[in-house]
Amino acid sequence: MGERIAVVLFNLGGPDSPDAVRPFLFNLFNDPAIISLANPARWLLAQLISRRRAPVARAIYEQIGGKSPLKANTEAQAEALTEALGDLGTVECFVAMRYWHPFTSETARAVKEFAPDRIILLPLYPQYSGTTVGSSLKEWSRQASVAGIEVPTATICCYPINSGFITAVGDTIRQSVKASGFDLSGVRVLFSAHGLPKKIVTAGDPYQWQIEQSAAKVVETLEPELTDWVICYQSRVGRLEWIGPSTDDELKRAADDNKPVVVVPIAFVSEHSETLVEIEIEYRELAEKLGVPGFVRVPTVGTADAFIEGLAAMVRTAVSEDEHLAPEGKGSRICPNMFGRCPCRASGVSGGV
């Protein structure tokens, strides 16, 4: 009959109603991976931030139907991946959200009931950060223990240059630029990723380095037409210094250079408020206000065939591993050793991939 395989897909989650916005925000800011204060200080600060930000966040979600589409989009990816893995036998893909339903605790119970012989953990974050993948994997470890799950488990920690992911991003860029009437040779591509406080990267988080690897690989698929591109960061919150340049500043520079922009969500694989509102609405409005001569938002890869097949290929590789954590489910660490917060064992790598 073959093995029963559970694939757990991790993502951020999002509020499913206006009333869920504040508790969702509280869960986010109460995560020690986001705010590193000890309790009760973190709990109190999370209460304060979520109370203050809830009205603004509710207004954001009102622009896309009052709730986040992330759950539905992730479930569609899970269904597509389950179908793509039909050759492995009995495979079920489960969705585990970090800050809203289905919570990791709910998913762990569902996986336990499924009674798999093997589990593959697959974050839907192509690039590793302790604030996203790291937090999700720690929560899975806790909840799997509570649920009494004790089966061989392999973890795909990241896949910044996975060929399926890179191909899917490159394809969506070409399609979007063509549909807009522009030409790749005449636009500036902004690879926009969610930002991080600079102190997190300085402390050894490999996220920014992996973003750079992803963007460079996508550009290779668009050469020689594309010659003008830059990596930038969005979604800054608070007073800390964040990695840059910011997407706002790059829009200003494009206006000064009279250059149309194509904004690519390089770190997101599913549509949600940061693509449908922050990029599509807020950045588009800013670009128009600044006088940018053209603005194109590239969709996330979603259920694109190349992306789903890329995920499936990694799962097939990881199925042969026991108690193993590695990029793309194979081999060893890809991050330079300067990134001490990379979850993989140290290697001799000192430069690029």
Asked if the structure places residue 133 within a domain, the reply is: yes
Query: Does the pLDDT of residue 353 top 90, yes or no?
Result: no
pLDDT tens-digit series, residues 147-179: 999 999 999 999 999 999 999 999 999 999 999
pLDDT tens-digit series, residues 105-147: 999 999 999 999 999 999 999 999 999 999 999 999 999 999 9
Asked if 75 and 218 sit in the same domain, the reply is: no
Q: Order of strands, edge to edge, in the sheet holding 229-234?
A: 229-234, 188-194, 261-265, 295-297
Token pair listed for 218: 């996508």
Asked if 153 and 259 sit in the same domain, the reply is: no
The number of angstroms, rounded, from the C-alpha of 346 to the middle of its chain's C-alpha atoms is: 24
Asked if the structure places residue 266 within a domain, the reply is: yes
Count of Cβ atoms closer than 10 Å to residue 105 Cβ: 16
**CA geometry: angle 131, 135, 137, nearest 5 deg:** 135
Asked if 171 and 156 sit in the same domain, the reply is: no
Q: Pick from 246, 278, 297: which residue ends a domain?
A: 297
Asked if 74 and 192 sit in the same domain, the reply is: no
Asked if 54 and 182 sit in the same domain, the reply is: no
Asked if the structure places residue 219 within a domain, the reply is: yes
Find the CATH number of the domain harbouring 281: 3.40.50.1400
Query: Does the pLDDT of residue 72 top 80, yes or no?
Result: yes
Residue 343's identity, in one-letter code, is P
CB-side neighbour CA atoms (13 Å) of 241: 4
Band the pLDDT of 21: cuts 50, 70, 90: very high
| Peptide bond before residue 40 is cis, with ω within 30 degrees of 0 | yes
**pLDDT confidence of residue 331:** 82
pLDDT tens-digit series, residues 276-298: 999 999 999 999 999 999 999 99
What total number of domains does the chain contain?
2
Asked if 41 and 144 sit in the same domain, the reply is: yes
**CA geometry: angle 191, 57, 32, nearest 5 deg:** 75
Asked if the structure places residue 339 within a domain, the reply is: no
Asked if the structure places residue 352 within a domain, the reply is: no
Query: Does the pLDDT of residue 239 top 90, yes or no?
Result: no
Range of the domain at 81: 4-160+305-329
- What pTM does this model have? 0.95
Asked if 155 and 222 sit in the same domain, the reply is: no
Asked if 325 and 205 sit in the same domain, the reply is: no
Burial (CB count within 10 angstroms: exposed 0-12, middle 13-18, buried 19+), residue 250: buried
Asked if the structure places residue 208 within a domain, the reply is: yes
DSSP one-letter code for 351: S
Asked if 86 and 216 sit in the same domain, the reply is: no
Query: Does the pLDDT of residue 352 top 80, yes or no?
Result: no
Asked if the structure places residue 202 within a domain, the reply is: yes
Asked if 22 and 148 sit in the same domain, the reply is: yes
Asked if 110 and 170 sit in the same domain, the reply is: no
Asked if 13 and 135 sit in the same domain, the reply is: yes
CB 169 within 8 A of CB 208: no
pLDDT tens-digit series, residues 294-343: 999 999 999 999 999 999 999 999 998 766 899 998 888 999 999 999 99
Asked if the structure places residue 344 within a domain, the reply is: no
Query: Does the pLDDT of residue 347 top 90, yes or no?
Result: no
Query: Does the pLDDT of residue 348 top 50, yes or no?
Result: no
pLDDT tens-digit series, residues 172-200: 999 999 999 999 999 999 999 999 999 99
Helix boundaries (H) for the chain: 21-29, 41-62, 70-84, 104-114, 135-147, 163-180, 198-202, 207-222, 247-257, 273, 284-290, 305-318
